């Protein structure tokens, strides 16, 4: 029997998954968390996040790879969730050039397995993570959901696949879904391979950092706890879905990587040595999203400004 508070959430020990899970647990949802704890980065951080989640009585965890169809189906058969949130994915733009098979296994095979499990066990509500990477070399700013998409890397292409395949499952199997085009998420317990955690770590240990394109990249940074709260709001609004099936999750402002470094240097009262490197293949020079459509759903929700978000991140990860 389905529980209207029972949600399966994948990638629960990951950076975004951890914060979303914690937010929903605090709201008394019954959550079944899935993660495979792979070694893309040190699994010790994932175990640390998981230990925080296990303090909640309304949380159960299963170590499962979503690419394993049999185990995933058994889990859906056991719990028959009212709602599914997919945040499991092989992340990283540059790594996708080195090991594309991992992206196929998780982002394509694993994602399709989730949709198939939902079809099999009559679970018809899905929120999933897409990415601003789907915009690729788009030259019109800010990015709007209806713009043409041309991902520059394998990771972005797998996320675009996710968006396309959900339309098929909506048309033929009545599975409603909302995709979240996430823009450069940052915050406490961040993924070590991401730019801001790297900067914090290098400053903390007095090491130099490689900076591509002289820091002349611009990113629309989004605080992770805003993402968690927005997903919570979207769950509550899901009974009256908008015509759109994807939303930009962004502040709607962008900031240069150079400026980010200066802000962190000022807040920590330290300087970092920069090693300039040439522009990397697959990188986007600028991301800047329009959040007008999201605003129709979340109304007056106020995004965390970058300076405040960085201060909160440093308080957890640096000081």
Spatial neighbors of 136 by CB under 8 A, at least 6 apart, are: 149, 150, 151, 152, 156, 284
Rounded to whole angstroms, the Cα distance separating 40 from 63 reads 16
The answer to whether residue 155 is catalytic is: yes
Q: What are phi and psi of 61, to 5 degrees?
A: -125, 140
Helix (H, G, I), strand (E, B), or coil: what is residue 296?
Answer: helix
22 touches 228 (CB < 8 A): yes
Q: What are phi and psi of 135, to 5 degrees?
A: -75, -25
Angle of CA points 245, 221, 202, to nearest 5°: 135
CA proximity to 229, closest of 294, 176, 278: 294
Q: What are phi and psi of 48, to 5 degrees?
A: -65, -45
Options 155, 169, 189, 247, the catalytic residue: 155
Q: What amino acid positions are annotated as catalytic residues?
A: 155
């Amino acid at each position: 029997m389905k529980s209207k508070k029972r949600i399966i959430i994948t990638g629960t020990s990951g950076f975004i998954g951890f914060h979303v899970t914690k937010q929903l647990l605090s709201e008394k949802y019954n959550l079944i968390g899935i993660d495979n704890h792979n070694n893309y980065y040190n699994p010790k951080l994932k175990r640390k996040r998981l230990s925080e989640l296990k303090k909640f009585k309304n949380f159960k965890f299963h170590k499962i790879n979503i690419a394993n169809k049999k185990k995933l189906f058994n889990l859906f058969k056991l719990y028959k969730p009212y709602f599914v949130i997919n945040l499991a994915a092989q992340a990283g733009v540059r790594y996708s050039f080195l090991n594309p098979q991992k992206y196929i296994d998780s982002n394509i095979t694993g994602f399709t397995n989730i949709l198939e499990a939902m079809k099999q066990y009559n679970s018809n509500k899905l929120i999933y993570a897409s990415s601003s990477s789907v915009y690729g070399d788009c030259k019109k700013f800010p990015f709007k959901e209806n713009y043409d998409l041309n991902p520059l890397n394998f990771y972005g292409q797998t996320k675009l696949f996710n968006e396309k395949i959900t339309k098929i499952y909506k048309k033929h199997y009545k599975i409603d879904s909302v995709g979240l085009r996430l823009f450069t998420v940052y915050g406490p317990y961040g993924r070590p391979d991401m730019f801001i955690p790297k900067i914090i770590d290098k400053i903390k240990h007095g090491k130099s950092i490689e900076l591509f394109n002289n820091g002349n990249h611009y990113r629309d940074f989004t605080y992770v706890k805003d993402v968690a709260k927005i997903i919570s709001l979207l769950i509550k609004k899901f009974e009256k879905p908008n015509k759109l099936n994807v939303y930009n999750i962004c502040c709607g402002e962008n900031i240069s990587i150079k400026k980010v470094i200066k802000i962190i240097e000022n807040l920590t009262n330290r300087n970092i040595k920069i090693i300039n490197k040439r522009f990397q293949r697959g990188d986007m020079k600028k991301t800047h999203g329009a959040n007008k459509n999201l605003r129709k759903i979340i109304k007056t929700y106020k995004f965390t400004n970058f300076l405040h978000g960085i201060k909160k991140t440093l308080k957890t990860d640096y000081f």
